[in-house]
């Protein structure tokens, strides 16, 4: 027996892993952004998912490569516009009070969920209105803004202008005929107003050129944007008359108009890089993570605004699909949301994070229900991972509570194939996880780790070290080898799980006696402890 990581310490006693969960019980220069969230209501599960996902790349880099990568991680709240104005009026508050209170709720939620960030921006901050005013003047000076009349459908819920083809007829709950957005299902109204227009139509060739660099992932969303750009691309209204929308940033040259909330909101990605100070240098490469509901704003309007201002368009847009409730997108306006606080109470922070990251996906919507959370956590974490850890570190299996020697003189012929397949899979696992995590296909990374855990369980069960320890000297040596390989595999899983479920991973590594200086694979790869 060797004392590689010191004694196995502590007891495995994390709620939900050694015990089962029962429903209803207590329980380099790189800018990465998640959308800044609109403060017309409290955060829901969909926001938490986006924010958790956006917080992963830096920890992944640290875990696998051992190095810190300069990274600016932005989160924040989008606070202007008519929806906030209306929500505040309905509550008898002034908009500023509502914004401060809901923005704080988002911040508290991010902290509770262990989401790391380097800047939390609020679009009502003075640094942001300075950036917006400067950006507006730049667009004006470069000839991209003119006064015109906008006539068409407007969806207040989505703060979006829609063409006739993007709307359809529907019926409201009272049986009245209404027009709705085909994309979101929210009601639209006919609007005719004199305001400031942005020459979006003139930017089509440059946008198409940008699309050729393949900046949008996964590919189906790139195709959607290509299709949009093949259709009509009318100029965009970028102001509202301030008599109607008071809560926003006034147009610098004309205070009778308020800046369109999406132009205002998107500029936050520049504000956090100190735009327009002389010290401003665009963060590169910049990655924006977003839900598919705001694809048009990020993949058409935002690069167009940047190109018009003479700035580089974003390098990568990573798009994810939606959490739904009974098939309908979870959304504040529809009030069909799942409260993240309730989920944290039921499943713990890491259980909730694991579920979101394992089941959420870029390509397909995912329906939320408590049964699927309970089933996943019981099967993947309590039974497979927790079971393996408990069994392989139990005092009955390892009375001296230390790491056995990896002295595998001879592998029984019956175990050779299984061992070879397992070792090959585990040696390649960090590369697989790193690749998936860096492209935000986190569900695939977690699936790969879970696959490893299940193969380790099968190996442990079929070799039955508890029986080998009662056999010949050769059996005992092989038993120690099986135990060593299992603990080493658990060290690998614990290390790789740190970005997704930091608390749970620390519990595993602590239980294995792995010191804080060894919780990266850089310098400590799989089987390096031999
Ligand atoms: N159901 C959802 N699933 C996944 N992500 C979501 C969901 N709802 C919101 N988000 C995340 O929040 C971003 C937009 O947030 P927003 O504040 O507009 O939320 P919302 O609930 O859709 O609001 P509203 O109903 O007022 O439109 C999305 O782009 C996405 O990143």
Q: What are the DSSP E strand ranges found in 70-220?
A: 72-78, 119-122, 145-155, 160-162, 167-171, 177-181, 189-198, 216-217
> Atom of ligand 1 at shortest distance to CA of 158?
27
Instruction: List Cβ neighbours of 35 (8 Å cut-off, separation of 6 or more).
Output: 50, 78, 288, 289, 290, 291, 294
- The response to whether residue 106 sits with its C-beta less than 6 Å from ligand 1 reads no
- Spatial distance between the Cα atoms of 520 and 517, rounded to a whole number of angstroms: 8
Instruction: List Cβ neighbours of 163 (8 Å cut-off, separation of 6 or more).
Output: 152, 153, 232, 234
Strands 250-251 and 254-259: antiparallel
Instruction: List Cβ neighbours of 221 (8 Å cut-off, separation of 6 or more).
Output: 292, 295, 299, 317, 319
Contact 376, 352 (CB under 8 A): no
The neighbour count for residue 90, using CB atoms within 10 Å, is 10
> Atom of ligand 1 at shortest distance to CA of 34?
31
The neighbour count for residue 143, using CB atoms within 10 Å, is 10
| Dihedral, 262, 264, 265, 269 alpha carbons, nearest 10 | 130
Identify any residues that bridge with 217 across adjacent strands, giving them in sequence order. 318
Rounded alpha-carbon distances, angstroms, from residue 185 to 84, 236, 316, 319: 20, 21, 28, 20
Answer yes or no: is pLDDT of 283 > 90. Answer: no
Residue 293 belongs to what H/E stretch? none
| Dihedral, 93, 99, 102, 106 alpha carbons, nearest 10 | 180
Probe residue for ligand 1, chosen from 32, 33, 38 as the CB with the greatest number of ligand atoms within 8 Å? 38
Say how many Å lie between the CA of residue 199 and the centre of ligand 1: 28
pLDDT higher at 189 or 58: 189
Q: Closest by alpha carbon to 469, among 478, 458, 456, 461? A: 478
- The response to whether residue 323 sits with its C-beta less than 6 Å from ligand 1 reads yes
Answer yes or no: is pLDDT of 361 > 60. Answer: yes
User: Per residue in 179-195, pLDDT tens?
Assistant: 998 888 888 999 888 99
- The response to whether residue 150 sits with its C-beta less than 6 Å from ligand 1 reads no
For position 65, what pLDDT does the model report? Answer: 65
* Size of the chain, expressed as the number of residues it contains: 530
User: Per residue in 293-333, pLDDT tens?
Assistant: 999 999 999 999 999 999 999 989 999 999 999 888 898 77
- Spatial distance between the Cα atoms of 304 and 298, rounded to a whole number of angstroms: 9
Answer yes or no: is pLDDT of 11 > 90. Answer: no
- Spatial distance between the Cα atoms of 115 and 511, rounded to a whole number of angstroms: 24
- Spatial distance between the Cα atoms of 33 and 55, rounded to a whole number of angstroms: 9
The ipTM value here is 0.95
Answer yes or no: is pLDDT of 208 > 90. Answer: yes
Lowest mean pLDDT among 33-37, 162-166, 386-390: 33-37
Say how many Å lie between the CA of residue 294 and the centre of ligand 1: 8
Say how many Å lie between the CA of residue 331 and the centre of ligand 1: 6
> Atom of ligand 1 at shortest distance to CA of 330?
1
Identify any residues that bridge with 410 across adjacent strands, giving them in sequence order. none
> Atom of ligand 1 at shortest distance to CA of 78?
17
For position 405, what pLDDT does the model report? Answer: 73
Per-residue exposure over 99-132, b if at least 16 CB sit within 10 Å of its own CB, e if not: bbebbebbbebbeebebbbeebbbbbeeebbebb
- Spatial distance between the Cα atoms of 315 and 380, rounded to a whole number of angstroms: 36
Q: Closest by alpha carbon to 321, among 9, 46, 118, 30? A: 46
Q: What's the order of all strands across the beta sheet hosting 323-325?
A: 328-329, 323-325, 366-367
Q: How far is CA 384 from the centre of its chain?
A: 25
Contact 182, 190 (CB under 8 A): no
Confidence of residue 358 (pLDDT cuts 50, 70, 90): very high
Instruction: Enumerate domains of the chain plus CATH numbers.
Output: 5-25+370-518 (1.10.730.10)
Contact 423, 492 (CB under 8 A): no
Say how many Å lie between the CA of residue 38 and the centre of ligand 1: 8
Lowest mean pLDDT among 30-34, 275-279, 324-328, 484-488: 30-34
Q: What is the mean pLDDT of the chain?
A: 87
The residue whose CA is least distant from atom 14 of ligand 1 is: 37
The residue whose CA is least distant from atom 12 of ligand 1 is: 47
For position 150, what pLDDT does the model report? Answer: 83
Contact 175, 220 (CB under 8 A): no
Confidence of residue 512 (pLDDT cuts 50, 70, 90): very high
- Spatial distance between the Cα atoms of 259 and 242, rounded to a whole number of angstroms: 9
The residue whose CA is least distant from atom 11 of ligand 1 is: 47
Predicted TM-score (pTM) of this structure:
0.88
- The response to whether residue 35 sits with its C-beta less than 6 Å from ligand 1 reads yes
The neighbour count for residue 466, using CB atoms within 10 Å, is 15
Contact 301, 135 (CB under 8 A): no
Probe residue for ligand 1, chosen from 37, 42, 86, 110 as the CB with the greatest number of ligand atoms within 8 Å? 37
DSSP assignment, residue 164?
G
Identify any residues that bridge with 77 across adjacent strands, giving them in sequence order. 37, 122
Answer yes or no: is pLDDT of 28 > 60. Answer: no
């Amino acid at each position: 027996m060797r004392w590689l990581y010191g004694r196995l310490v502590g007891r495995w006693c994390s709620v939900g892993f050694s015990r089962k969960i029962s429903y209803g019980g207590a329980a380099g220069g790189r800018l990465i952004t998640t959308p800044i969230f609109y403060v017309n209501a409290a955060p829901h599960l969909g926001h938490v998912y986006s924010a958790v996902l956006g917080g992963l790349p830096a920890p992944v880099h640290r875990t696998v490569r051992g190095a810190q990568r300069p990274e600016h991680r932005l989160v924040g709240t989008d606070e202007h516009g008519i929806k906030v104005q209306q929500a505040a009026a309905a509550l008898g508050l002034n908009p500023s009070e509502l914004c401060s209170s809901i923005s704080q709720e988002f911040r508290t939620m991010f902290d509770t969920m262990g989401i790391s960030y380097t800047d939390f921006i609020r679009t009502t901050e003075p640094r942001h209105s300075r950036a917006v005013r400067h950006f507006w003047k730049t667009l004006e000076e470069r000839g991209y803004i003119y006064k015109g009349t906008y006539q068409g459908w407007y969806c207040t819920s989505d703060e979006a202008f829609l063409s006739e083809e993007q709307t359809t007829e529907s019926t409201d709950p009272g049986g009245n005929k209404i027009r709705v957005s085909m994309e979101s299902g929210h009601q639209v109204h006919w609007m005719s107003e004199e305001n400031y227009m942005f020459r979006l139509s003139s930017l089509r060739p440059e946008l198409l050129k940008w699309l050729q660099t393949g900046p949008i992932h996964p590919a189906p969303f790139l195709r959607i944007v290509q299709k949009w750009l093949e259709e009509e691309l009318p100029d965009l209204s970028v102001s509202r008359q301030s008599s109607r929308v008071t809560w926003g940033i006034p147009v610098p040259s004309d205070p009778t108009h308020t800046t369109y909330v999406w132009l205002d909101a998107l500029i936050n990605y520049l504000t956090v890089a100190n735009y327009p100070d002389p010290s401003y240098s665009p963060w590169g490469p910049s990655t924006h993570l977003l839900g598919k509901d705001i694809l048009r704003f990020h993949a058409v309007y935002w690069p167009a605004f940047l190109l018009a201002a003479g700035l580089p368009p974003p390098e990568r847009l990573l798009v994810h699909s939606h959490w739904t409730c009974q098939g309908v997108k979870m959304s504040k306006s529809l009030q069909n949301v799942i409260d993240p606080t309730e989920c944290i109470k039921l499943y713990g922070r890491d259980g909730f994070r694991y579920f979101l990251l394992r089941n959420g996906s870029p390509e397909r919507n995912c329906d939320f229900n408590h049964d699927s959370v309970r089933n996943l956590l019981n099967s993947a974490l309590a039974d497979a991972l927790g079971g393996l850890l408990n069994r392989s570190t139990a005092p009955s299996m390892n009375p001296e509570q230390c790491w056995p020697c990896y002295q595998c003189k001879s592998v029984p012929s019956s175990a050779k194939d299984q061992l070879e397949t397992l070792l090959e899979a585990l040696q390649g696992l960090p590369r697989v996880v790193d690749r998936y995590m860096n492209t935000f296909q986190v569900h695939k990374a977690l699936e790969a780790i879970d696959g490893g855990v299940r193969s380790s369980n099968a190996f442990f069960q079929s070799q039955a070290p508890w029986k080998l320890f009662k056999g010949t000297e050769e059996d005992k040596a092989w038993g120690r080898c099986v135990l060593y390989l299992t603990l080493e595999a658990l060290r690998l899983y614990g290390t790789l799980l740190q970005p997704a479920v930091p608390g749970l991973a620390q519990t595993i590594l602590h239980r294995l006696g792995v010191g804080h200086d060894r919780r990266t694979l850089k310098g400590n790869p799989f089987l390096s402890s031999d």
